[in-house]
Every structure is written in structure tokens, then in C-alpha cells.
Chain A
């Protein structure tokens, strides 16, 4: 089971670089998501890996094989990969069995009977036993999705590519399918690249998530890594909601904005330098107006501006006294304070994460 290495990968459309010197290593058997907003280059990257596109620079290696370089691109049909498309791309003129069995015809040494057996088995795995002779047009969206999955897995590819496979499903089904895909990955252990713009989906499914921004990998890591320790403003904003705070280092471990001062655990700033902090709303503790916080926590006083009820949580907007900062704070119900009232919050220094790339918008 080989892994995938993308090195310095670049693809331009006209003057625009869709992928711009992208590096990424995927370990054998690992499932890595490419996460980013539309236009970040994630689909282009996937199509480069599939061999549908020729890179302008950089290389793609699978195990020891170099599949794409500027000079030579192994065509898709000889890459031993499989792909699941956003549109499922099921062939409407073939039955479910024909769809699923198609790829097996190009795998040497599989007899017809053998192929049939494997198709039946795979359809059982995706819970579509008995649907062999249906046409795709006769299936529901979720069933079509399963056929697409079966068609990709039955050929036992070295690499599996998924291009936003769940985006056409309704919300409940999508959630169900996330676990299904994760289950299948754990069953088959195929090295997988998974493209999505949905961070929850990426987090549930992947071993690691690569956040793409402007054709490059902004950060790659486990879901927790990205959430707890975002490295750039872009990642912090894109993965989950956050409070961003532009300030100046007052000391090696203190960031100031106006009269507001915060102690930061991961300090080491050059005093006077610009610093951006990310503070997750749920890591801010809402205290009683005169309550006390654990020792070492930053304690801030302010006024409640707005409270929104979200069902399983409440979202407070609190203006910090003596500054222009409005912090968003998430806390479970019931509501503990109301607009216009004074409030006090506490933030652990560990929860104040300094970001690089302060100059980025």
C-alpha cells in the first residue's frame, strides 16, 4: 500500500495559478482531506493526482512511481486509482452491476465469474444487494452514492480519490454517509484523498486535514491540531468560529490592544511586534459580574450587547470595557445575562493562540 507525495505542484489557468507550489505527503493507508473554500485549488489538486491535468511544475509520486511531472504524465487509466465524483458519474445506460463491474474488466486476470462474484460481494458491502439489474435513474440519491462507492472500491485501487462526494445529499443522509465512508476506509485501508469544503465532514472522516488556501497547503494536521492550534489567520477563521484579535506585544508573553491585556501561554514575542490572537468562543468562560476565575487566567469585564439562542448553545457578544473589541462567547443554556448587563469573562493563556501571517487579509 503506497503513499502519495505531491511536491511543488503548480497548475495555471491563464494567468491564475489554481495550484501554486503545493506540497503534501500522504502516508500509506491514510485518509487525508483537502479542505478549503471554493477556488482554493483543492479540486484541481485532486484532478492533477488523477492525471486528468498536466502540472506546469512539480511532481506527483505514488510509492516509488513518478506519475506526473512537467515532462510526462501517466494517463488516468494506468494509475491504478479510483475516484468518486461529485456528480457520482454513474453511467445511465448501464445497470448497477455493469457500472460496478466496469473497472474490473481492465484488471488483468479476472474471469467473468470472478468479476460477478466480486461485484455481488461489493454491493453487499455497500448494502445494495439485489439491486444489480437496476439502472441508476431508478435509485435514490443515497443509493446512487453507494453505487459510486462500490464502483470505486471493487477494483481495489492503490489510491482512492473523492471529490465532494456528499455535497449532493440532504443533511441527514450526508451525516450518515460520513460514518459509512469512514467505516469503509477502516475496512479497506486504502490511501485516500478526500476533497471537501465542509469542515465538519473533513474532521469526521479524515486522519489528517490539509487546509488549502490560494493553491497552497496552509496547514495540515489532525482535526484537533487545526482547531486548537491554527497557525494562520486563514486556518483559524476557516476551521470553526473564532475571535481574532489584532494587537501588539507588550512583553514576551503579553499582547495588548488599547487597555486590554492578555497573557499568552505560547509567548516569546519580540516586544512591540504585531500579534494576532485566535480565541475560540467556547474556550472563553462566562463568569458572574463579580465572579473569580482560576489563577493565571485572563479576566475581562464588559457589557453584553446581544444574546442569540442557538438551541444547544447561547451566543453572547460582549464588548470589552475600555476597548473596541467585541468577543463572541459560546456557553450552554440557560442564559446567564442579558443585553445591557455587565459581564465578566475568563480566558486561559493556553487558549490565546498566536497566529502567523498577520499581514494576510
Chain B
């Protein structure tokens, strides 16, 4: 028997426990009543008017976010990928930045920018026009849709830009030679080829909006409406209605699973790589006089998601009163002192870092083992392994948190109250990202490289350590970074699972928000962003001077 077998089996078993235990409990609790099994919770979920309203709000939010993300992401993807737009690199960098910006920080910044009365933009608007009514009101459904969309459109952008990059110009030129005009080419050749990417980008954006907790909590609650996620969270208030929360999680879970299935079918089994006219030249369409207006348009979007929010955060961090002009009088280091002088905050920073590093290490390791096992077909049922690892994509953070809370506040595993429950939550939540990343890594390493080692006398584990691991190094580091970034910004699961001893940065920010401590939030938010960008830059550096050339 292969001596390495226990390693693969163990990784698979860990995965099954990680997934099956909480989801099993979630299902169980959602149908358990005082007198045995009951469907009463489900009945209430679908008949209680406030809950119905929350469901409907979520549908409205998700749909419009999907659409708005498409309207922002698709043109920008086309402009950066296929035209001679100036500053493409800059735009891409900015989009990456908005991609890694925690949405709740953005939402928070937009409260300061577009609160109907004190919001900076509205103030400027009023002083310019003398109008009474605000220009924009961020505490409203349209406001929420806008703020969510400007941090969600990168999903659409990445999806479509990647596809466009794969379409060789000859495909389009073939159509031009046959006499089709520029617009016709776009509509009849380019569009159909990117249609799957467009549709799946839309679905991705919808999924993001469905699962989001922070932004609705910051923008919808003051406006007096709930979404599914904020409603689930409210159900945890005393007296907690865990059964209701579990029952309410199920529609969210099902909707997510359904959308993912749809996306998979849209992309087809071979994914969007099928459009690849391999090695084909890509010529950029000259925009002519439209170059600068197009650039201005892109920058306007980035102003909404990056420039304005970051600027107002910086201002709030340095100001006594964020709504007043930043005069010398109004400047202070007090926010810094209040933030970092507080033991609780310092503990939370440590907790966050500890969890980030721990989850990233274990997550990257486990994802690598699982991806390796599945890629090299090391155990029977390896196809199932991939499915199971990717399954948490279908579990919104707050649902996962409810499931974990139910599963780990009772024997056999009492994890609630320790960092471990957060660790498990993060690990589960980040596994799909880690897995996809690792999967791509191992797909890029030719199995013959390992076989060459085997036949010369090295055992499987030795080959893994001496040949595969060094080759997969940069891929694994990238996985590590992705997981780390995901963890330090996580809010929707943490908000349910933390205890005072195990607070994390995002929860502290959320707590501060409830108290209206704008300055401290801004300081912590900037700190969080700095941490994120440090990791992103380090990752790009590492991947940039990658010495492993992957053979095609």
C-alpha cells in the first residue's frame, strides 16, 4: 500500500467534517421545535410580513447590484482590454484596489460622503445650488445599491476582461473582412463570445450582494429596512431565535446554490477558455477623440469607489469632527490615541493577525493538499473532493456563522468562545478561493516532473516536498495572500461568532460604528487597508519575479 495514503485520506476527512457538521446541524435546528420536528419556522419565514419584506429587499438589492455592476464593469473591461485607452495599468490597479477594499469600509465612507444632510457631497451641492433637498441620499435602497455596486463591479470586470483578452483579433477581423462594420462586429462576433462571461459576471455580482452584511447594516438599517442578512443577525438579539435564523438561512443558501449552478452551466464544462484563439494577436481599437472622455469616465467610477472614500476616511481619521472643515483647530491625533490606546482594539488587532496568519497557513496547506489529491487522483472519490471544497461558495458568511454557532456551542466540539470557531469559519469560507488557486497551480505543474522523481527512487511524499512544493511555491504563496486578505476583512460570519475575548478588527469597527465613533473607525479602516495593500504588493512582487516558467 502507498505509505502516503493516510495524508490524503486525512485531508479529505478533515474537509468532510468541516462541511458536514455545521450544515447538518443547521438543517436539524431549522426543523426542530419544542415538541419534535416542525416546519413552523419555515412557515413563519415565508408568511411573516417583515420577513417577507426583508426577502424582497434582498431580491431587489441583488438584482440591481448585478445590473449596475454589469453597466460599470463591462464597458471598463472592454475599454481596458480592447482599446487604446490611456492609463490602462492605472485603471487596472485601481480596480484591484476596489476589489480588496472591504465593502463595509466603503459603505462607511459613503455615509460621510453622501449622508443626506451632513454628507460632504450634499453639503457642497447645497452650497453651490442653494437647494434644500440633498443631491443623493445614501440611506436608501438606491444608495445601498450604488455603494454595493461600486465594490462589486470588479467581479464583472475581471470576468469579462479575462475573456476579452482570450479572444484573438483575427476572429473579429475575419468578420470585418467579410464586410461587417465595427458595431456589427462587436454585436455579432465579440458579444456572443463574451456573453457567457457577462452572464456569469452578473451572477457573481448578485451572489456578492446576496451575502453582504456590512453595507446593508450600515446603510439599510438607518433607513428602516432589513435584508436577509441583517434580519438573520437581528434574530440573534436577545432572546435569540436561532431556529428562525437557521430557517431563514435556507432560502439564502438555496438561492446561492441555484445561481452557482446556473453560472456553471453558462460557462460550460471547459469554462470561458474555449474562446481562446490560441496565440492570436490582439490589436487595440483606436478610440480617436473618445480616448480622453473614456478615461474620464473610468476615473469617475474609480473616484466613487477609491478616491473619494479614501480621502474622507483620511480626513475623518485626522479630524476632531469629521463633518467640519479640516482646519488646524480641527486636526487631532486623538483618534489615533483613542483607537490604539484601547486594550480591546489592540487585542482585536492581534486576534485578527493571529487568525489571518493561522487561517492562511492552514488554509493554503489544506487547499494545496486537497487540490493535489484531486488533481493527481490519489484517492477514490476525488471528484467529490473538489465539489465539497468548493461547496462553501454557496454558503453566505452569515449562514455559515449560524451553522457554526449551532454546531460548535454543543458537544462534541465546544469551540464557541475561543478563536477556534472563528478559525473554522474563516477556513471554511476561504477554502473555495484557496482551492481554485491551488488547483490552477497544480494544473500548471506537469505530472511528469513528479513521475521523473518517482522513477528515480523518491517516494510520493518526498517528491511532494522536494519537487512539487518548490514548483508550487509561488502559487501557494498567492493562495496564502488571498486567504489572509479574505480573513482580515471578514465581517458577516465574525459578527455572530465573536466573544469579547475573541473580537476581531472588523467587529471592532462595526461596534464603533454603532456608537458613531467616526474617527476611530477611520483610523482602524485605514490600518486595515494598509495591511491589505502591504500583502497585495508583497504578493505581486513575489509573483512578479517568479523563476518557474510553466511549460505549456
Contacts and interface: CB of A to CB of B under 8 A. Distances in A.
Whether A associates with B in a native complex is yes
Interface of A: 50-52, 75-79, 81-83, 85-87, 89-93, 102-103, 105-107, 137, 151-152, 155, 161
Q: Pick the most buried of A50, A75, A82, A105: most chain B CB atoms within 10 A of its CB.
A: A75
A87 B453 contact: no
A85 B455 CA distance: 11
A50 B455 contact: yes
A107 B455 contact: no
Contacts of B449: 87, 89, 91
A76 B455 contact: yes
Interface stretch (B139-147, B364-372, B544-552): B544-552
B446 A103 contact: no
Given A77-B456, A87-B449, A137-B549, 4 more contacts: A75-B460, A77-B455, A92-B547, A151-B452
Nearest to B449: A89
B97 interface: no
Interface residues of B, number: 21
Contacts of B454: 51-52, 75-77
24 contacts: A50-B451, A52-B451, A52-B454, A75-B454, A76-B451, A77-B456, A77-B457, A79-B455, A82-B456, A85-B448, A85-B452, A87-B449, A89-B449, A90-B452, A91-B452, A91-B471, A92-B548, A92-B549, A93-B471, A106-B457, A137-B549, A151-B452, A151-B456, A161-B455
Interface string B435-461: 000000000001011011111111110
A10 to B, nearest CB: 19
B313 to A, nearest CB: 43
Contacts of B470: 93
A85 B451 contact: yes
Contacts of A79: 455
A256 to B, nearest CB: 53
Contact of B2 (A52, A75, A86): A75
B467 interface: yes
B459 A89 contact: no
A89 B471 CA distance: 12
Nearest to A50: B455
A87 B471 CA distance: 16
Given A85-B448, A92-B549, A75 B459 contact: yes
A86 B551 CA distance: 12
A154 to B, nearest CB: 9
A103 B448 contact: no
Contact of B467 (A87, A91, A155): A91
Contacts of B451: 50, 52, 76, 83, 85, 89
B456 A102 contact: yes
B457 A93 contact: no
Contact of A83 (B455, B460, B547): B455
Interface string B224-249: 00000000000000000000000000
A81 B453 CA distance: 11
B549 A89 contact: no
Given A83-B451, A92-B549, A103 B467 contact: no
A248 B2 CA distance: 57
A92 B448 CA distance: 13
B128 to A, nearest CB: 61
Contacts of A151: 452, 456
A83 B452 CA distance: 7
Given A50-B451, A89-B451, A77 B458 contact: yes
A155 B547 contact: no
Interface in B405-464: 446, 448-449, 451-460
Contacts of A83: 451-452, 455
A82 B456 CA distance: 6
B548 A87 contact: no
A81 B455 contact: yes
